Amino acid sequence: MAAAPVWSVDPRTGKQREQVAVEATAQEVDSAVRAAHAARSALADRTVRAAFLRTAADRLEGAKEQLVEVADAETALGPVRLTGELARTCYQLRAFADIVDEGAFLDVVIDHPDDTATPPVPDLRRYKVPLGVVAVYSASNFPFAFSVAGGDTASALAAGCPVVVKAHPDHPGLSELVAALLRRAATEHGVPEGVVGLVHGFEAGVELVEHPLVAAAGFTGSVRGGRALFDAAAARPVPIPFHGELGSLNPVVVTEAAAAERAEAIGSGLAGSMTMGVGQFCVKPGLVLAPAGAAGDRLVKSLTEAVSDTDAGVLLDHRMRDNFLAGVAERAALPDVESPVTPGAGGEHSVSPGFLTVPADRLATGGGAHDLLLEECFGPITVVARYEDDDQAKAVLSRLPGNLTATVHLSTEEAAGEGRGAEILAELTPLAGRVLVNGWPTGVAVAPAQHHGGPYPATTSTSTSVGGTAIERWLRPVAYQNAPEALLPPELRDDNPLGLPRRYDGRLER
């Protein structure tokens, strides 16, 4: 049987643009993984790795116009958004190059023998080594930053791990272009092209996570797809780490005092956040707890006006559009659910934004049809739950699953320490990996202190996929005991020939 073709599709029209590849067979997946495995030694030199990452960023920037043009044709995200995302992706590659140069990620610790300790301490030297080949599953909604050259790939290469990327079907043409640029950058530094593999097709994705030479996996996508791959990774004869980002509601709590102080600003800010990127951000605020009463009414009025002024947009593909329309209809039909601005079809290929409101007591107890409102609906929609008192809001929060983010809007006095501000922050902390005050979760800065992850189902692990510490996912610690100095890797020798930051007999050395 001939391999199925992989087509590039224009989401604005639903028409096929061109065939860019064919779905990979099991043999082709095996070849890609083995080529990546063979490239490991070429990444052993940190200087080479850092130079490779910087050259990759240079090559992407040099092809910016072509890349943005193809990305827009396949995703309809628009040149402005895509140009910014490409810049972020290049910055991320260079940031990981800096991390590689610094070397702190190796976490070098050296303890010399101490016979006076109880029990006695032998000579111990510990650092981190790369896991091996990493399978990367591209996301639909970030064709640059969470795709072939995205954070999973950049952090894995920085750790010294080759990658095999499973391309997302929504941007296969772009995936091929980016992979070619990364391979070109690799060969400029003597690294084999196989260090970045690329495969297409659903079955290829399953074959990839089950391949015995794949040592770890990074995924961004749906709960259903991610959980299936997570279970497959755990069911292997040798289970592997699976770092999956699956789904998030990203709750927002607006206190009564905050609504009284600036309801209009909160309403307009919410509208901008929940419609950004046609509601296709993983950190879109999908549930808002707002007070009942006059202040909450003002907030809803402001939100209504702002969302009504927002144009319809095109989702990443027609399957997502169908799911969005079905999800909106099912939620809007629930008892006591109202739709001040009805989300739905904005045209044959587009959707219009909107939001739903519901009394919070419908969500405070479980087991009913209204639990659907506590599940993510991908697209430009949010649910505003109106609470009567603090206990009702707390009851809703207690029923939420894990999230990437949780946000609270406080009044000036509450932010200064008066009232329940600290208490609400404590209530939100168990729910999310990033807790925001008086802001909006859309927009994830690439910074050393960033954490983009959260309790399940937001992610399947406690790690982050954004920021410098994302590199830790692809490393494992090794300790050497009483090893002769001449046999030790240079990272662990007393004279520190590589000039690495380390903890040496309890003292931090930089």
Kindly state the tokens that stand for 488: 């030790």
Q: At what angle do helices 223-235 and 202-210 cross, to 10 degrees?
A: 30
How buried is residue 215: exposed, middle or buried, by Cβ count under 10 Å (0-12/13-18/19+)?
Answer: buried
- Catalytic position from the list 245, 256, 376, 414: 245
CB 168 within 8 A of CB 188: no
**AA letter at 348:** E
Contact residues for 250 (Cβ-Cβ < 8 A; gap 6+): 283, 284, 285, 286, 287, 403, 404, 405, 406, 407, 432, 441
Question: 172 to each of 5, 77, 165, 198, 469, how far by Cα in Å?
Answer: 11, 15, 11, 10, 29
Q: Find where tokens 């587009």 sit.
A: 350
- Catalytic position from the list 256, 282, 377, 491: 282
DSSP secondary structure, 110-176, as one string:
EE--BTTSSSPB--EEEEEEE--EEEEE--SS-TTTTSTTSHHHHHHHHHT--EEEE--TTSHHHHH
- Separation of alpha carbons 85 and 425, rounded Å: 31
Cis peptide before 448 (omega within 30 of 0): no
* Segments in 236-334 forming alpha helices (H): 256-275, 294-308, 318-332
377 included as an active-site residue: no
Question: 510 to each of 102, 106, 404, how far by Cα in Å?
Answer: 10, 13, 33
Kindly state the tokens that stand for 388: 């009567």
Q: Report, as residue numbers or ranges, the catalytic residues.
A: 245, 282
